Amino acid sequence: MPILKNLGVSDPKVPRAGTLPLRSSRNPFEEVSGLEEEEAGELASLPNGTSCRRRATLEKLAGLAPFRLGWAPGRRAGSPGDGQSRSFLGRVLVPGIRRSSADFGLLARLHGTRAHGDEEAAGEAARRLAFLRLGRGSKPQRASLAERVVPAGEAAPEPPPKVPEPPKMKEPLSVLEILSLIQQRELARADEHILELEAEELAPSGGGAPGPPKAEGAGGGRRARDVALLYEALQRELWALVRETLAGPGPGACAGAGAVAQLGQVLVQEEAADGRRGPGAARKLRARWAEAVARAARERLEAAAPGAPGGLAGQLEALRARLLEDMAVVRGRLAPAYPAGLGAFGVYLRGYHGALAEWLGASARRRLPLADRYALLHWHNQVYPREVLGLVDMAALENGELGPLLSPGTLRGLEDECVTDVKAQTRAALLRVLQEDEEHWGSLEDQHSSLAQDVCELLEEHTERAPRISQEFGERMAHCCLGGLAEFLQSFQQRVERFHENPGVREMLPDTYISKTIALVNCGPPLRALAERLARVGPPESEPAREASASALDHVTRLCHRVVADLLFQELQPHFNKLMRRKWLSSPEALDGIVGTLGAQALALRRMQDEPYQALVAELHRRALVEYVRPLLRGRLRCSSARTRTRVAGRLREDAAQLQRLFRRLESQALWLDAVVPHLAEVLQLEDTPSIQVEVGVLVRDYPDIRRKHVAALLDIRGLRNTAARQEILAVARDLELSEEGALSPPRDRAFFADIPVPRPSFCLSFPLFLGRLPLSRLARPSLACLPRPRPPSLVRPRARR
C-alpha cells in the first residue's frame, strides 16, 4: 500500500494513531495536549493495521516549535528547551492542574501570524483522512463480548451491575479560555474562573487536589499579571455594557436584560470576594460600577446638549428630555435586571445627577447673557425638581436625598449678576422710553401715549420671572425694580413741570393742551399700581422707594389737575362774577352758565382714567362751591330785612340742589360738600340766637377750617347788629377753635373755608360820637352799632381789584 504508506506517515499534518488530536477552541490559537512520557514511547499503527515507529511530534503538528512559552511538568530531561522557557502548547494535560498562559501581547502576535497557516493545515489533514477511509473499505461487524463467551443455545447471563464511575474532576480553564468567555459576554462564568485563578495565586495548596506549586520569579509574576489583565478585560466589558444598555432598545443597544443580570451577578460575586480579600486588597467593583454609570451619563448628556437650538434654554430642554428618556429606560428595563441589593436605580439617578451638576456648573462659570442666566436659574430651581425629580421615587435612594446641583454660593452669584444687569438695563431703557415719549408732548397732533405701558412691560418682564425662580430672588428683583421706577418717576415729574412751564405750550388750543395733560395724568394709575405691587413683594426696606414713587406721581397728578381746573375756571369766571347780586336773586342765568360749561367739559374729562378722574371731579366740585361761596362771604350782598334773608336763603338752596345734581351726574365722590351751602342758608334765615348757635356749631364741626371771621362775615350779611347776640354766636366758634388747636389741619382736598379770604371783622362803638349834626351816641343802638375796624396806616395795603 504505497499510497497509504506515503500518506499515513510521512505527512506531519496527519495525526498518528495513539496521538491526541488538536483541541478546538474559540480563540484562534489552539492548545495541544500531549501524552505522558510512558505513553509517548509506544508504537502506533497506521489505519491499515501496519505499525510504524515513526511519529509526528506535537511541535511539528502544531507548527509552533520556535515558540517556547512556558513550563510543562513531566517533560523528558534533556529534551530541547530544557533549562529555558518550555513550549506552552506542549504541556501534558494533568487533571486538576490549570494550564499557564502566555503574555497577552505575544498571544496577539501569534494570532496574526499563525491563524492562516493553521486553517490550511486543518483542511489538508481532513482531506487525507477522508481518502484513507475510502481505501480501507467499510468496517466489518464484530461479535459482541457476550456472543463470544456464551455458547449457542444458552441464555446469556445478566450483565454485572454497573459501578458508578467517580465524578470527573472539572478541568480548570486556561487564561485564554477565560478571556474568550469575557469576549463572549459570559461575564459571570468568567468572573468565577478569575476568582478561582486568584485563589490559586493566593493559596496554592487547597483542600482538594493539590495545585501546581507557586513558581518563583517570572512564573509567579506571570500568574499575578494574568489575573490583573483578566480583571482589566472584564471591567472593560462591564463598563461597555453599562454604556450600551443606556442607549435603549435599538440597533446600537445591548441585547436584553440577560447581560445586565450577569453584570449584577459579577458585582455581587466581587463584593463577596472583597470581604475575603480584606480592606487593602479589595477591588471595589461596585464603586467603580457607580463611576462607570456616572461616565456613561455624562457622555449621554453631553451628546444631547450641543445640537439643541435656542441657546442655553434649548440645551436645558434637551437635557430634560434626555434625562426623562434615560430614567424611563432605567426604571423599566435596567433596574429590575440588577439584584435588588445593589440599589441600581439609585446608582443611575445619582450618576445622572452628578453629571448634570458638572454640566450646569461649567455653564454657570461662563459669562452668560441675562436671558440665559434666567433660564439656568429657573431650570435649576423649578424645572428639574418638578419635572425630573418629581417623577422619581426618591425612596429608592440609599443615602437619602440628592445634593444640590449648584452650590448656594454659585446661585447667589448668578442672582447678583442678574440684579446688576437688570438695574443697568432698565435704567437706560426707561430713560430712552421717556425721551421718545417727551418728543410728542409739544406736537399739535393728538397722539396716544404708551409711556406707562412701556415702563410696566420693561419692569414686569423681570418682576414676573424672578418670583418663579425663588421667593427670595423675587424680593430682591422687586426691590431693584422699585428703585429704578422711583428714579424714573422723579425724572418724569421734572419733565412734566418743564412742559407746563413752557410758554409755547400754553399757546396751544385749550382742547389740545387739556388732551396732552390728560395723557400725562393717565400715566399715573398703572405706574402707581406697579409701585404698590413691587413694595408688597419686596423687602421692608423698599418702603422709601415706594413713598418716593407715590410722591412724584401725586405731584404730577395735582399739577395736571390744577392746570385743567385753571383752564376750566377761566372760562367759568364771568359766570361766577354774576353771583350774589340783585339780578342773581331773580334770574338763574349765572348758575345755568356754570352748569352748562361744566357739563360740556365733562365729556373731554371722561378720557381720564377712573382714579385721576374721580380726584379731578372732586377738585372741580370743591372749587365750584368755593367760588360760589366766595362772593357771599365778601359781603357782595346785604340782607336788610327778614324777607330779603328768606329770598337769599331760598336761592342758595336752589343753587345748591342744582350743583349737587350736576356733580352727581359727573360722578363726584365729594359728598361732604353738599351740606355747606344749605348750612349757610340756615344761618341766614334763622331768627333766634340759640338756633343760630346750633347751626354755627354744626357748621364748625363739619368744616373744621372755618374761623370766627367767616362766621362774623356771615352775621354781617344777615344784618345781625346785636352785640350780645353776636358775642354769643361767635363764642361757639371760638370755643370750637380752642378745642381743636392741638388737632391737625384738614388735608388739602378737605379744605373749604381756608381758600376763602374775608374782610377784617367789624368792631362795635359804645361811646358817644357826633356824625354831622346828630349825636353819635344814638349809634349805640344795635342796628347802627357795627362799623368797619380802622387799620393802622403802616398796615394799609392796596386791595387787588378782581
Confidence at 687, pLDDT banded by 50, 70, 90: confident
pLDDT of residue 253 exceeding 50, the answer is no
Nearest Cα to Cα of residue 610 among 562, 663, 667: 667
pLDDT given for residue 544 in this prediction: 94
pLDDT given for residue 5 in this prediction: 38
Neighbours of 392 (CB within 10 A): 19
Q: Could you give the C-alpha distances from 788 to 246, 713, 716, 765, 785, in angstroms and in order?
A: 107, 11, 11, 10, 10
Between residues 661 and 767, the one the model is more confident about = 661
Share of the chain above pLDDT 70, in %: 67
Non-local (6+) Cβ contacts of 727 within 8 A are none
| Cα gap 693→335, rounded to integer Å | 96
> Does residue 523 contact residue 451 with C-beta atoms inside 8 Å?
yes
pLDDT given for residue 749 in this prediction: 66
Nearest Cα to Cα of residue 478 among 550, 544, 538: 538
Non-local (6+) Cβ contacts of 36 within 8 A are 74, 92
| Cα gap 66→89, rounded to integer Å | 11
**123-127, 256-260, 570-574, 641-645: segment of lowest average pLDDT:** 123-127
pLDDT given for residue 430 in this prediction: 94
What does the pLDDT look like over 269-325, one tens digit per residue?
Answer: 999 998 888 878 889 999 999 999 999 999 999 998 876 677 899 999 999 999 999
What is the rounded average pLDDT of the residues 117-127? 52
What is the rounded average pLDDT of the residues 65-71? 36
**109-118, 365-374, 403-412, 501-510: segment of lowest average pLDDT:** 109-118
What is the rounded average pLDDT of the residues 187-191? 91
Confidence at 201, pLDDT banded by 50, 70, 90: confident
> What integer best gives the mean pLDDT of the chain?
75
pLDDT of residue 75 exceeding 60, the answer is no
> Does residue 655 contact residue 591 with C-beta atoms inside 8 Å?
yes
Between residues 788 and 641, the one the model is more confident about = 641
3-state secondary structure 318-358: HHHHHHHHHHHHHHHHHHHHCCHHHCHHHHHHHHHHHHHHH
pLDDT of residue 210 exceeding 60, the answer is no
pLDDT of residue 48 exceeding 80, the answer is no
Cell of 458: 420693561
Cell of 477: 428683583
Confidence at 793, pLDDT banded by 50, 70, 90: very low
pLDDT given for residue 396 in this prediction: 57
| Cα gap 721→786, rounded to integer Å | 6
pLDDT given for residue 441 in this prediction: 86
pLDDT of residue 55 exceeding 70, the answer is no
What does the pLDDT look like over 632-644, one tens digit per residue?
Answer: 998 888 888 889 9
pLDDT given for residue 473 in this prediction: 94
| DSSP for residue 775 | E
pLDDT given for residue 449 in this prediction: 82
pLDDT given for residue 305 in this prediction: 80
pLDDT given for residue 555 in this prediction: 95
Cell of 294: 456616572
pLDDT given for residue 277 in this prediction: 83
pLDDT of residue 690 exceeding 60, the answer is yes
pLDDT given for residue 389 in this prediction: 84
What is the rounded average pLDDT of the residues 146-150? 48
pLDDT given for residue 57 in this prediction: 38
What is the rounded average pLDDT of the residues 716-730? 87
| Cα gap 116→495, rounded to integer Å | 96
What does the pLDDT look like over 434-462, one tens digit per residue?
Answer: 999 988 887 777 677 889 999 999 999 99
pLDDT of residue 559 exceeding 70, the answer is yes
Report for 160-169, 306-315, 592-601, 762-771: range of highest mean pLDDT: 592-601
**82-96, 330-344, 404-418, 551-565: segment of lowest average pLDDT:** 82-96
What does the pLDDT look like over 318-355, one tens digit per residue?
Answer: 999 999 999 989 988 899 999 988 989 989 999 999 99
Confidence at 113, pLDDT banded by 50, 70, 90: very low
Neighbours of 112 (CB within 10 A): 9
| Cα gap 615→725, rounded to integer Å | 41
| Cα gap 351→290, rounded to integer Å | 7
Rounded to 5 degrees, what angle do the CA atoms 610, 611, 617 make?
Answer: 80
pLDDT of residue 79 exceeding 60, the answer is no
What does the pLDDT look like over 539-551, one tens digit per residue?
Answer: 999 999 999 999 9
Helices (H) and strands (E) in the chain, counts: 28, 6
> Does residue 13 contact residue 124 with C-beta atoms inside 8 Å?
yes
**9-13, 258-262, 311-315, 501-505: segment of lowest average pLDDT:** 9-13
pLDDT of residue 482 exceeding 50, the answer is yes
H/E stretch holding 152: none
Share of the chain above pLDDT 90, in %: 42
